[in-house]
Amino acid sequence: MTAAPDASGNPEDLFADLLVRAGIDPGPDAVYTPLTGGLSHRVVRVDAGADRRWILRVLDPAVNAAGLGVPAWQEIDNTVLAARTGVGPRVLGTVGQPAAMVLEFINGTTLTADDLGRPATLVRVATACRRLHGRSPRFANDFDIFRKAEELLGLCLRHGLPIPADYTDRLPDLDDLERALACHPLPARPCHNDLLPANLVDDGRAVRIIDYQLSGMNDPAFDLGDIAAEAELPPDAVEILASAYFGREMTARHLARVRLHRIASDIAWTLWFSVHHGLLADSAASPGFDYRAEAAGKWARAVRALDADDFGRLLDRAAGRTAPPAGPAGARSTGP
């Protein structure tokens, strides 16, 4: 989910200075084009002539201070590690203060939710996730969506930020979800944790993954569930994604795990948008984006999933329990 304050004067002077400090001379005729896909940090495309195109990513310390991203040094380190897999963009240079990265420009097509509705694209996205999770060196930090939800809720309550009226009423459901997933945990892997379609780029050969603002060691099924949530995938598409990722190891428990992480994603990121709107509205990289509407949409999807007839059965499958006969919405097994 991705603006550092400008230095006084022309922001292009700041961008040129950062490039030079990162070891790249853009020349006097470089063109700087702000990219609006990110929601927090400032991202600029730099065009400096034939075959001289880069992405400059300037990291706003307020993003981490508001709990909306990992510290700048961790994002930089994780981006460097992800690049070793060939999935993340190559890091061509870095600057410490203000924190910034110069990244390779990936000449490709940014995916959309419609693209992720195609089975062949889902398979390629699953391949990219497997490569990131399996080939990247260990990230320095951990990430847990349940602890992140707690952190964001605390920020909302401390700052008096609006949250859905029934949010705290549904926290027992979130606890049930966490307990079910803890029964058969998967080994933590280097995860992106923010796989909205805009962070997936098809370069014609493979799907690349950009923007490691929320990266950290996590349950790999969360990345899959987050994709499903962000692209609003229907159940059959979620199964295609999970099957492509887990392959022969795929079980009903794996699929339930992905579907539960999808719910956790919507629950937690509802508050991400509430915090961003409340604390960083004046410095948003995309000031025209409707953060409140995004939060409301995510919460509505989360509530529908929590109230669905199969939520209790998903808990049972993820926990390895034998599910009881179908009962009322949200019914839980009382078995071991």
Mean pLDDT for 175-184 is 97
Tell whether the model's pLDDT for residue 284 goes beyond 60: no
Best CA proximity match to 161, nearest among 64, 285, 270, 277 = 277
Pairing of strands 207-209, 91-95: unpaired
pLDDT tens profile 19-49 = 999 999 999 999 999 887 555 678 999 999 8
Q: How confident is the model at residue 181 (pLDDT cuts 50, 70, 90)?
A: very high
pTM (2 d.p.) = 0.90
Range in 27-41, 62-76, 113-127, 137-151 the model is least confident about: 27-41
Give the pair of three-digit tokens for residue 122: 């889902």
Q: How confident is the model at residue 324 (pLDDT cuts 50, 70, 90)?
A: low
pLDDT tens profile 184-210 = 999 999 999 999 999 999 999 999 999
Contact 124, 70 (CB under 8 A): no
Contact 218, 143 (CB under 8 A): yes
Percent of the chain past pLDDT 70, that is, above it, reads 89
Q: How confident is the model at residue 277 (pLDDT cuts 50, 70, 90)?
A: confident
Tell whether the model's pLDDT for residue 305 goes beyond 60: yes
pLDDT tens profile 84-134 = 999 999 999 999 999 999 999 999 999 999 999 999 999 999 999 999 999
Q: How confident is the model at residue 3 (pLDDT cuts 50, 70, 90)?
A: very low
Mean pLDDT for 156-170 is 95
